[in-house]
Amino acid sequence: MALWGGRFKQQPSELFKAFNDSLPVDYRLAEQDITGSISWSRALEKVGVLSSQEQQDLEAALSELLLKVQNDPECILSSDAEDIHSWVEQQLIAELGDLGKKLHTGRSRNDQVATDLKLWCKDKGNDLLQSLVNLQQALMDLAQREHATVLPGYTHLQRAQPVTFGHWCLAYVEMFDRDLSRMQDALYRADTSPLGSGALAGTAYPIDRHELAQDMGFRRPTMNSLDAVSDRDHVIELLSSASISMMHLSRFAEDLIFYNSGEAGFIELSDLVTSGSSLMPQKKNPDALELIRGKSGRVCGALSGMLMTMKALPLAYNKDMQEDKEGLFDALDTWETSLKMAVLVAEGVKVNSAATLSAAQQGYANATELADYLVNKDIPFREAHHIVGEVVLAAIAENKALEDFTLAELKVYSSKIEQDVYQHLTIESCLDKRQVLGGTSREQVEKAIQSMQEAAMPASPVTGSPAKEQISLALRQVQQRLNAQKAAVMSVRSARMTDVDNIVDIVNYWSEKGETLPRSKYDIIHDIQDFVVAEVDGQVVGCACLYIYQTGLAEIRSVGVMPDSQGHGQGKAMIQFLLEQARHIELQRVIVLTRAPQFFAKLGFANTPMDSLPEKVIKDCDICPKKNACDEVSMEYLVKMTGNPFSNTETIPTKQVN
């Protein structure tokens, strides 16, 4: 039975039903629809629409339905329901009778589908972030392996200057680094809950939408009901991120297809990612790379389609928006598969270093070095450029390399050329002269490595300087970024009752160390809505609490990250999350008592006299084992109602903070 049939005298035609129904596509939102429905049932109980027993019965039925869907997602497709929302409601009614009909009170399919889709995007987004990091790691491993392999660099597909194969790998690591950043930005903006916005004007029930959003794991609710139900920016942003990244993957594929060709012969691809010819037994085709290159158009097409769908829609919801999911699902699936395939390709690449070196030595890649040599002999660059052009012309005519000219032959073009010219024409010289940051100069690499080691390694008792490692600076820098990016898959969210035991473990660990105040399990359960947690790969590794004392004032406390998970910014992320909460509920002042004042200072806190704190805050010190020898610093953060309070902060490692 349709959810909307009361207004109509006739049943819709079968043709219209097939044209209108979206279940074959949106069945993928089943888990998100059930999750949102559980949270909605809790919200309805709190405003008196459902009794406690009714809510428990609904949540039990929904949880059972969730298990059914997780075990067999395609069981939904045998239904003739219009969409996933209708299917879930039908299942509840079949199980609970009239109680199943009460769940939709105050809710519209408009805010429901918008919420479901955002929840799905968050789940899929985390998988894609991990896939991006995996590809960067595979390229890092390849760069490490081939960091010294000489490769001809190209412009206009003409040999230009020599680089290293490792340097080529790191160029794509940089590209995928930007993709990862774009994805994180898009997911941050998508992390707002539309539920409670109704069809377009908001629900008539006094739902606490902040609490509802937190219960579903969103950082906050949306602010305008008209926009909330008709916003598909998150779909467009994710498709845009996917399209740009697929463009990068396509360039990566094109480079390797060329390197793998018989004309270049720079690499050999693994049998795992290639195929043969049905006619020509000698062929080994780079099909995986060609498919990546081809599928980029498919993903970009989904972005164009969504932009065209949205470009002229009036507020608020229109059925056109039903077209948002099919293209999104396909594009993100395609992107994820392409990333995984690129990892498989990178892991299996074999480089023919003799061929790459030979190619780098051809094509007069050292012509720029000869021009620079002449400039150092006080010849203006434009004149040097012209002289070298004449030398290259002669070299082409005689079919020999620049370094094969005798000194007498070179002096025909300029009397300034001396015997020392030959040391500038070697491949090693071409590489080592690139001394600018991001170049391939060995001198630049060693200086940067030394600088990094002085900050991170103990000094030698003899020389006062650290021991030097024989490793590329670029590899070290990108590895650091990769470590940070892996941590970036970490998320911060509001705590749930299922997190209580983890929070107790974290608080107990640091209170036993004397770094935080002890809190009983009862206290944590009572204050669970004040806590946030940091997760890495689904595991809770940190917690923090925003305890509200009175109107306008709150304290950050019980901050801790487990030791084996420290150093990746979880502490900062949790504090920022709490400060944003403080802004949204219009607090005026947030205080903290801490032994890590530098940490909080970088987040905008300033020292404040201990005696300026309210008596309720000081009273908590009675349970502190160090109250008679207090070494904590009192600090405060003045909450701004506008702007971004984190725009000028820097990422710092999470240490023991209270």
The type of residue at 524 is: I
Cβ neighbour number for residue 124 with a 10 Å cutoff: 19
Query: Residue 477: what residue type?
Result: Q
Torsion 556-560-566-570 (CA) sign:
negative
Question: What Cα–Cα distance (Å) separates residue 406 from each residue in 268, 314, 391, 414, 419?
Answer: 38, 76, 12, 13, 9
Q: 568 an active-site residue? A: no
**Amino acid of residue 400:** K
Residue tagged active-site, from 277, 304, 460, 520: 277
Contacts of 487 (CB under 8 A, 6+ apart): 536, 568, 569, 570
Candidates 623, 621, 560; CA nearest to 596 is 560
296 assigned to active site: no
CA atoms within 13 A on the CB side of 2: 13
Which residue from 361, 249, 326, 522 is spatially nearest to 257, judged by alpha carbons? Answer: 249
How far apart are the C-alpha atoms of 486 and 472, rounded to whole Å?
21
End-to-end CA distance of the chain: 56
Q: In what order do the strands lie in the sheet with 589-594?
A: 491-494, 531-536, 539-550, 553-561, 589-594, 633-638, 606-607
Question: Is the CA virtual torsion 309, 315, 321, 327 positive or negative?
Answer: positive
Phi-psi sector, 464: left (phi>0), alpha (psi -120 to 50), beta? left
Q: How far apart are CA 575 and CA 657, in angstroms?
A: 11
Which has the closest alpha carbon to 468: 452, 444, 483?
452
Closest-CA residue to 108 (of 17, 46, 194): 194
- Identify the active-site residue in 52, 156, 278, 415: 156
Number of C-alpha atoms within 13 angstroms, CB side, residue 45?
Answer: 18
Which helix (H) or strand (E) segment is 193 a member of? Answer: strand 192-193
Residues designated as active site: 156, 277
